[in-house]
Amino acid sequence: MWEASQNSRNSSMKMPESLRGYLRTWNEWRRVPVVMQTRSNDCGPACAVMTLARHGHLVDLDSVRRRTRPGLSGTSAKTILKVMESYGLPGLGIKAALEDLPTLPPASILFWGSDHFVVLVSADTRYVRVIDPAIGRRKLSLPTASQLYAGSALIFRGEGRLT
């Protein structure tokens, strides 16, 4: 049970730090919608839709798919960046170590494995939370994430600044 404050007449409650962290993670999960890929080569467009939605740009998967025109092997990071900029969300491709994921903005797009994209929801010293457009929401331990994360990310600017 939370401690009641002795100084308050209303006996306001102090929330434990561990619960605050849990609620921050829960709120971030809710702020990035899940968009499932409908074709095997749709992970890039699906991730773009999720990231756009996180930044307030509501577009549908078909619209983004038409702009990216994914080939048999999917969509390139360069194409995703161009399409995101066409929607008013400029971005940047970066190299980032697994340990750097907690510093990346929510809704960054991560290169996963050798041919897949996922959306970063959050990361800390124990877990990486992503939305995989082929599977849905995933909470992965760092050792598991290290086997999947390819070391590259796309980060995006919201309202003219990196968010």
* Catalytic site positions: 43
* Residue 123 Cα distances to 40, 45, 120, 126, 148, angstroms: 26, 23, 8, 8, 14
Q: Partners of 153 in the beta sheet?
A: 94, 110
